[in-house]
Amino acid sequence: MTAPPATRILGTDAAAIAAAVRCLAAGGLVAFPTETVYGLGADAADGRAVARLYAAKGRPAFNPLIAHVTDIAAARALARFEADAARLAAAFWPGPLTLVLPKAAGCPVAELATAGLGTIAVRVPRHPVAQNILAAFGKPIAAPSANRSGHVSPTHAAHVLADLRGRVDLVIDGGATPVGVESSIVACLGEPALLRPGGVPREVLERTLGRRLAEPPRGADAAPAPPAPGMLASHYAPRTPLRLDVARVEPGEVLLAFGSTLAAGADKAARVENLSPRGDLIEAAANLFSHLRDLDAVGARCIAVMPVPHGGLGEAINDRLQRAARR
């Protein structure tokens, strides 16, 4: 048996970036910040590194990974871009958008990373640390969110360590991730479809496309199939049950608040975390996973969640809250 890796923690200076690149080149696992959430990176072309990555996350191997690259030119070596995909990439890369596209002939990404699909998810992150690592590594990096499978995504290095210490080689600590929810995923395999609401709001994507996004494909029996394989209902579950859209906090509950006017009974809650006291959805997205983790740690009977508006980043926030509530 090989010993579990001792997890090193480094900052974001040039020496740290160089260490990250050496580690990736040696088949190691490196957690690093992107503008959305922390990713757990492996050399996407190295099937053994990708296998270690699945093992570290405890993730089912049928769930494919996003290949991260520095720019559109690098993405074109992995995937085929039709007009809609090219328009979205030009408008939102680098940034919190992932495109699911037909795999290019000669795509170097390991079959295991794409779970044997004929399609590939590609993203160009804009976080400077992610960009520095990608540029210095010079090859695609497969990176799911850096959490144990089924846990909420990490927005701080401390979240990564809580889930993965001793299971990954290196954590690059770049502070809090600014967007806070994962990238929006759009499949361009026909009519563009939104597989996962995320950091680029639906309305903004639709304005660029000049038309509405299609609904994700459904199962043959018209039951809603998980749109992206990893979007299982309970994918983002804290241990504590959630109760959504509450107007009144019940005894024994902690409160996830939104806005300046708290739900009735908030003064009796053992703990209150406010996503955005000034009612700003961008701030709320950035705080979502961190506040969920903090409230989960209290060990309360239930997390009561105040209503969050649905427009803009509200779609992604409400999507994650609904998944966390279903169990």
121 binds, among Mg ion, ligand TXA, none (CB under 5 to 8 A by kind): ligand TXA
CB of 252 to Mg ion, least distance (A): 30
Give the residue nearest to Mg ion (CB): 145
Say whether residue 276 binds ligand TXA (CB under 6 A): no
Distances (CA, A) of 2 to 5, 167, 190, 260: 9, 12, 46, 52
Asked whether 34 and 200 are in contact (CB, 8 A), the reply is: no
> Taking a C-beta distance cutoff of 8 angstroms, is the pair 33, 196 a contact?
no
Contact in structure between 43 and 195 (CB atoms under 8 Å): no
Shorter beta-carbon distance to ligand TXA: residue 204 or 272: 204
Closest CB 322 distance from ligand TXA, rounded Å:
15
Cis peptide bond N-terminal to 94, omega within 30: yes
Asked if 143 and 123 count as a contact pair (C-beta separation under 8 A), the reply is no
DSSP 103: B
Shortest gap between Cβ of 34 and ligand TXA (angstroms)? 5
Q: Find how far residue 207's CA is from the centre of its chain.
A: 23
Cross-strand bridge partners of residue 61: none
What binding mask, one character per residue, do residues 161-200 give for ligand TXA by CB under 6 A, x or -? ---------------------xx-x---------x-----
Task: Say whether residue 99 binds ligand TXA (CB under 6 A).
Answer: no
Q: Does 95 bind ligand TXA (CB under 6 A)?
A: no
**Phi and psi angles of residue 16, each rounded to the nearest 5 degrees, phi first:** -70, -40
Minimum Å distance from CB 131 to ligand TXA?
Answer: 12
Residue in 148, 156, 157, 172 with CA at minimum distance from that of residue 28: 172
Q: Which residues, in sequence order, are CB contacts of 221 under 8 Å at separation 6+?
A: none
Would strands 97-102 and 119-123 be described as parallel, antiparallel, or unpaired? antiparallel
Alpha-carbon distance of 278 to 147, in angstroms, equals 29
For Cα atoms 86, 90, 91, give the angle at the middle one, nearest 5 degrees.
Answer: 120
Among 144, 180, 197, 201, binds ligand TXA (CB under 6 A): 144
Among 12, 114, 119, 145, binds Mg ion (CB under 5 A): 145
Give the number of residues in contact with ligand TXA, rule: CB under 6 A.
27
Q: How far is the CB of 243 from ligand TXA (least distance, A)?
A: 25
Per CB under 6 A, 229 contacts ligand TXA: yes
| CB nearer to ligand TXA: pick between 18 and 193 | 193
Residue nearest to ligand TXA (CB): 230
- Among the listed residues 5, 28, 39, 154, the single contact to ligand TXA using CB under 6 A: 39
Of 98 and 290, which has the nearer Cβ to ligand TXA?
A: 98
- Two tokens, residue 271: 């703990």
Q: Which does 12 bind (CB under 5 to 8 A by kind): Mg ion, ligand TXA, none?
A: none
| Binding footprint of Mg ion on the chain (CB under 5 A) | 145
Positions touching ligand TXA (CB under 6 A) are 34, 36-37, 39, 63-66, 98, 100, 114, 117, 119-121, 123, 143-145, 182-183, 185, 195, 228-231
